[in-house]
A = this chain, B = another copy of it.
Amino acid sequence: MPANQSPQRIAIIDMGSNTARLVVINTVYGYSFRLEDEIREVVRLRQGISPAGLSEDAIARALFTLRLFKRFCSASRVDKIIATATSAVREAKNGAAFVDEVENTIGLSLRILSGKEEAFYGTLGALNEVPMVNGHVLDIGGGSAQLSLVENRQFKNGDAVPLGSLALTEKFIKHDPPTAKEISAIRAEIDARLDTLPSATAKSTELVALGGTVRNLAKMDAAAKNYPLNTLHGYTISRKTLDEQIELLRALPLNKRRKIRGLKADRADIIVAGALVAQSVMERLGADSFTVSVNGLREGLFLEGFWDHLAYPVIADIRRFSVLNMARVYHYQKNHVNHVRYLAGRAFEQLAPLHGYGDAERELLDAAAMLHDLGTIISYNDHHRHSQTLITNSGLPGFTPREIALIALLVRYHRKGQPSPLEFESLLREDDLDRLLRLSAILRLAEYLERGRNATVDDITIRWNDSTLYLTLIADEYPAVELWGTERGAVSLIETAFGRSVVLESTAAPTDIVVEKL
């Protein structure tokens, strides 16, 4: 952790049209962050909205909840509160009066986000999770939906349209299941509204989607496919899958929709309308699939401050940062880890003619080297398995599911056992088992070359002929612990992975102790 900073607890309050949420994030700005607490309350702020504005009942419910959130923040000693309101308050005639009342009676400054700001912050959340460079971000909420155009990892333009899943459902769906006519009416409404959006004109090859509707569609799909990761980071849904989901959902009555695995029961009533928005946007942009962003508005609001010192509050290399953030959150041992990363990189480069891998594998290996020991936070015994568990539960923003699975497998096999795809086979390619075998062997080599955790081995030189691989360790003093550890723990896997017997030697001469081949 940076020496001159201490962690802060930042609360983000998001008074949505349907749900109010409070998240507390523990952070050192610019260094790391993690979710620390979360509460939600279904306020239904837009229920009963009229030309006169928000209803008295809805306002009472909102005041109750915001007062509660404020008190929670005081009780649990939050350092800073960022509180916003979106479409319901923005569109209501009495929205400004409501904000004044919140300020005067609760002492909470509620910022009303404009449609453009709502689009911007959702995009900020998404760009800090997904490595998209150019494309679109679609945020489907309860009251409105936002579509934004992204150029060169920046928000170019975007705005909100009244296409929230709750708003559309209330306006158009009177039957259960909805009739063909109602579906058509929703589609026509979506088309008409999208016509007003400049961001909806450009074609897009890359689409990122977020919000409750999208997360639920992804969870439904994941449940149906027995998806082996417990995270939606990097999850993609194809147009074909979405079309099939819509066919299924629109045909079922509500009581049957409620029972679909992965779909929250309290969202089953409004999921069809939300899914239709995603479908129409894909159609219009010509997108074959979309990637889910777990981040959204709240994370965007937080990340604006987290990256305040950058020229633009989006991290350039999200993959690099998400690995680093995870390592920092779990208190990695930086010196040991950096030396393992260095040695793994040196071995990878020199062995390139034998494995033929490039930058993609180099990055996975480096991520695994960074994260290999995290599981010791759970226990030393089986810590390689615990490291795997941490990764498959937290995910790694910016990586694809296949890459997350490979990194999880590499940390699993950084010690002990014969690499195998385990439960992740469905995410891997046919040649990934070879990839796993060779990269595990390199990571295990690096780990055992740093067994004493004090950088005794400065470097490694690797050469080979058809039958033998010569590993020469460069060290100031004879690296007995590392030679011994590598012989016992790594050599057999290296021999399997590269089809050669291994000769291990050190430039520093042995003095009182000589490690011999097993």
A377 to B515, CA, bound (A): 40
Given contacts A76-B454, A105-B512, contact A480 B71 (CB under 8 A): yes
Q: Which of A457-498 contact B (CB under 8 A)?
A: 480-481, 484-485, 488
- The answer on a CB contact under 8 Å between B379 and A34 is yes
Residue of B376, B381, B390, B488 touching A378 (CB-CB under 8 A): B390
What residues of B have a CB within 8 angstroms of the CB of A195 in the complex?
Answer: none
Q: What is the minimal beta-carbon distance from A377 to any residue of chain B, in angstroms? A: 6
Given contacts A75-B456, A76-B453, A456-B75, contact A35 B480 (CB under 8 A): no
* Copies of this chain, count: 2
Give the most central of A105, A379, A386, A512: most B CB within 10 Å. Answer: A379
A393 within 8 A of B: yes
- The answer on a CB contact under 8 Å between A76 and B34 is no
- The answer on a CB contact under 8 Å between B75 and A481 is yes
A453 to B24, CA, bound (A): 13
Which secondary structure dominates chain A's binding surface?
A: mixed
What residues of B have a CB within 8 angstroms of the CB of A41 in the complex?
Answer: 488
Interface mask (A212-247 → B, CB under 8 Å = 1, otherwise 0): 000000000000000000100000000000000000
Q: Which of A364-423 contact B (CB under 8 A)?
A: 376-382, 386, 389-390, 393-394
- The answer on a CB contact under 8 Å between B379 and A35 is yes
- The answer on a CB contact under 8 Å between B377 and A393 is no
Given contacts A454-B76, A456-B75, contact A513 B380 (CB under 8 A): no
A68 within 8 A of B: yes
A41 to B488, CA, bound (A): 9
Given contacts A68-B481, A68-B484, A480-B67, contact A377 B377 (CB under 8 A): yes
Q: What is the minimal beta-carbon distance from A381 to any residue of chain B, in angstroms? A: 7
What residues of B have a CB within 8 angstroms of the CB of A377 in the complex?
Answer: 377-378
A241 to B400, CA, bound (A): 49
Interface mask (A48-87 → B, CB under 8 Å = 1, otherwise 0): 0000000000000000100110011001110000000000
The 3 residue pairs across chains A and B that have the minimum distance between CB atoms: A75-B452, A75-B454, A67-B513
Q: Give 9 CB contacts A-B under 8 Å.
A: A64-B513, A68-B484, A72-B451, A72-B452, A75-B454, A75-B456, A76-B454, A377-B377, A377-B378
